[in-house]
Amino acid sequence: MSFETHLEKAWLKLEEGDAAGAQRLGRTLAGEAPDSAEVLLLLAACDRESGNFVEALALLERAAQADPAWATPVLWAGELLASDPRRLSEALERATMALDRAEEADELLDAITLKAGLEVDLGKIAAARKTLADLPPAGKAPIPAALALELAHLFLAVDDPAEAGRRFQKLADAPGDDPQDEATIGADAWYGLGLAAEAQDDEEGKRRAWLRTLELDGSVPLEDPLLDEAETAQVAEAALGELPERAQALIRNVPIVVVDLPARPDVERGLDPRLLGLFEGTPYPEASNMGGSPHLTQILLFRKNLERVAHDVEELRAEVRTTLLHETGHFFGMSEDDLAEVGLD
């Protein structure tokens, strides 16, 4: 079996989830060609898949040195560095290098996306806008849907909602060939359209886009949830137990209601269909000033939206806790700025 065939077999094992098997093959190939950039990239991918990021980064640096014209190792190094908030400047250096090396269309798109995203994270909005200017116009070149969504959101981040809207609209009109794409990519695109319309003070356009988002999100059943409804409520109750005794006493009669998504009438009035939670009713300070207790008051938790933003059960538990405490803050009259100051934004 040839070197190239062994290399292909190793990549196939990795794609099938057998990182250990791919790594064994890769080490054998490294014995034959220790300075092969392709083998070093494979071994880096195995370490990355296994969570060995330090080792993966070292291998990517070696691969970049072995083939100074190849963009992929530098691009992957930038992506790894970008996962550490303390190393964003280093990540940006790698992204810039990858963009200089990029020759293939997919490398170019990935490098532009990574570089612009890092510039936004570092507050370099003008630089990010300049980076995105190198993209082809919306619809002029094929771009994978997930990447196209990321790019559209980047245009929002650099204060260009008109271009973001054009790119979201392209995806909303043609989310993909798979029928499920409309309920996934399509829903994300319609949600982005709502954000772009909101940024342009187009209230009608925002509501129209977000109603379509709600319809598509509601069409997908919540299969294999990380937490069921009862477990979600238990996490919320535990979060309430963290409050001081006086606060617990004041909020004791406010029901916590777990539902899948916001109600359509609320979205028709302009509510974000992907909110994680919502406080409804009269804040306690206002009710106290008026006399009597708050009426028609409840805290809503939206399961589908919470599940969407969490990658695992621990992250979901943390999201439920933070959302519940955030909405509790609204009950006690705290503003969004107040909540951000105490880390509950």
Instruction: Give the CATH number of the domain where residue 284 resides.
Output: 3.30.2010.20
Structural domain includes residue 51: yes
Q: Are residues 295 and 207 in the same domain?
A: no
Give the residue from 168, 193, 218 where a domain finishes: 218
| pLDDT per position as a tens digit, 219-260 | 988 888 999 989 998 998 898 888 888 878 878 888 889 999
Q: Does the reported pTM lie above 0.75?
A: yes
Q: Are residues 45 and 119 in the same domain?
A: yes
| pLDDT per position as a tens digit, 37-46 | 999 999 999 9
* Average pLDDT of the segment spanning 22-27: 90
Structural domain includes residue 224: no
Structural domain includes residue 124: yes
Structural domain includes residue 52: yes
Q: Are residues 35 and 180 in the same domain?
A: yes
Residue 274 or 142, more confident = 274
pLDDT of residue 296: 63
Q: Are residues 177 and 240 in the same domain?
A: no
Q: Is the pLDDT of residue 343 over 60?
A: no
Q: What percent of the chain has pLDDT over 70?
A: 90
Q: Is the pLDDT of residue 308 over 80?
A: yes
pLDDT of residue 248: 81
- Secondary structure (3-state) at 300: strand
pLDDT of residue 294: 47
Under 8 Å between Cβ of 22 and 47: no
For the ranges 80-94, 124-138, 269-283, the one whose mean pLDDT is highest: 80-94
pLDDT bracket for residue 340 (50, 70, 90): low
Q: Are residues 243 and 310 in the same domain?
A: yes
Q: Are residues 181 and 239 in the same domain?
A: no
Q: What is the CATH number of the domain that holds 74?
A: 1.25.40.10
Give the residue from 199, 218, 237 where a domain finishes: 218
* Average pLDDT of the segment spanning 298-312: 93
142: alpha, beta or left? (left if phi > 0; alpha if psi -120 to 50): beta
Under 8 Å between Cβ of 325 and 239: yes
Structural domain boundaries, residue 235: 229-341
Our count of domains for the chain comes to: 2
Structural domain includes residue 302: yes
pLDDT bracket for residue 331 (50, 70, 90): confident
Structural domain includes residue 223: no
Q: Are residues 100 and 158 in the same domain?
A: yes
Structural domain includes residue 106: yes
Q: Are residues 203 and 317 in the same domain?
A: no
The whole-chain average pLDDT of the chain stands at 89
Under 8 Å between Cβ of 78 and 91: yes
- Secondary structure (3-state) at 96: helix
Give the residue from 192, 218, 244 where a domain finishes: 218
pLDDT of residue 222: 86
Q: Are residues 124 and 41 in the same domain?
A: yes
pLDDT bracket for residue 158 (50, 70, 90): very high
CB-based contacts of 233-237 (< 8 A; 24+ apart in sequence) = 233/258, 233/301, 235/317, 235/320, 235/321, 235/324, 236/299, 236/301, 236/320, 236/321, 236/324
pLDDT bracket for residue 339 (50, 70, 90): very low
Residues in the chain, how many? 345
Q: Are residues 189 and 268 in the same domain?
A: no
| pLDDT per position as a tens digit, 163-190 | 999 999 999 998 776 667 777 899 999 9
Nearest-10 crossing angle of helices 19-32, 37-49: 160
**Listed residue (98, 34, 96) closest to 66, CA to CA:** 34
Q: Is the pLDDT of residue 286 over 50?
A: yes
pLDDT of residue 144: 87
Count the neighbouring beta carbons within 10 Å of the beta carbon of residue 157. Answer: 17
Q: Is the pLDDT of residue 335 over 80?
A: no
pLDDT of residue 345: 52
Q: Are residues 245 and 143 in the same domain?
A: no
Q: Distance between CA atoms of 88 and 225, rounded to whole angstroms?
A: 33
pLDDT of residue 46: 93
Residue 15: C-alpha distances to residues 2, 71, 251 (Å): 20, 21, 50
Q: Are residues 85 and 157 in the same domain?
A: yes
Per DSSP, helices labelled H in the chain are 3-15, 19-32, 37-49, 53-66, 71-82, 88-101, 105-121, 125-132, 145-157, 161-173, 181, 187-199, 203-218, 229-240, 245-251, 264-268, 284-290, 303-309, 313-331, 336-341
H or E element, residue 257: strand 256-259
Q: Distance between CA atoms of 155 and 168, rounded to whole angstroms?
A: 10
Structural domain includes residue 42: yes
* 279 contact partners, CB below 8 Å, separation of at least 6: 297, 298, 299, 300, 327, 328, 330, 331
